[in-house]
Amino acid sequence: MADKKVWLITGAGRGLGLYITKAVLAAGHSVVATGRNKEKVAQAIGEAADLLVVTLDITKPAEAEVAVQAAVNRFGRIDVLVNNAANFYAGFFEELSPEQMNQQLATSLIGPMNVTRAVLPVLRQQKAGQIITISSTAGLVGFEFGAAYAASKFGLEGWMRSLAPEVAPFGIEAITVNPGFFRTELLTEESTSFADTHIADYDERREGQEQFWKGYNGQQWGDPAKLAQALLTISGEEKPPRRFIAGADAIGTAEQVIADLQQDIDSHRALSSSLAYDEPAAASK
């Protein structure tokens, strides 16, 4: 296979990461599948000749470096990094503890940075490679009960948009993926946590929110197997997009964000345009 590539995928043992891993292997590529529990990852994927399973907690930079070295030792290179591993701390901001906010950011924002930092020297040396980071529509718009998660995804957006021009001269492509609601395992008890603190003023709304998120698991519109195939398609394009809006619901959200932003611009265009510094008039002689 002339275009055979080596993919390093985080959170590969369950959810979207597992679908991506199986799709990439089925397409004939090699995969370095990572997760916090190496045995569970291996069991979920099964045996494959071009598969290397490595322990990786993305919140630990040293483990990222070890995983990257293991990938290079086995396959000699890394062509595609998929920053997929994430979790979801749901709750009203005031009820989320500082520790929960820190944990959300450590996993969903700093974690991808840790892995990317470890992979970049390999990609720079090759003068080629792709960094595919799974964001969310929550990286485009905030939502009630999602302050922590949206904060982490908005952070990913700014980081990836800044990273792209920094690494482009080395032949490295940075691609952000914004999925809508896909039927993954993000909303299972293993991946979703709720706020520790309860404040009476939020009681009624909290109950409704928790019922929605718990009940929505398994009811999401999108098919993660199709999303995995879409990522293979994008990765194989001669010029991949810098952003892929994944799902009809995600397109609807993105279009509404554009419309809202245009409305905000137009509503105060004159005031905004009047803020230039007025240079003092030259003194007359």
**Catalytic annotation, residues:** 149
Residue 160: HSE in the Cβ half-sphere, 13 Å Cα cutoff: 28
Which of these, 67, 62, 65, lies nearest to 11 by C-alpha position? 67
Integer Cα distance of 167 and 242 in angstroms: 13
Q: Where are the beta strands (DSSP E) in the chain?
A: 6-9, 30-35, 51-55, 80-83, 88-90, 129-134, 172-179, 192-194, 243-246
Residues 6+ apart with CB under 8 A from 254: 137, 140, 178, 245
Which of these, 33, 28, 29, 32, lies nearest to 5 by C-alpha position? 29
Tokens of residue 282, six digits: 């030259």
Integer Cα distance of 29 and 228 in angstroms: 14
Compute how many other C-beta atoms are within 10 angstroms of the C-beta atom of residue 57. Answer: 19
CA dist 3 to 29, 136, 241, 246, Å?
8, 29, 19, 25
DSSP 233: H
Integer Cα distance of 223 and 237 in angstroms: 22
CA dist 59 to 112, 117, 166, Å?
8, 12, 23
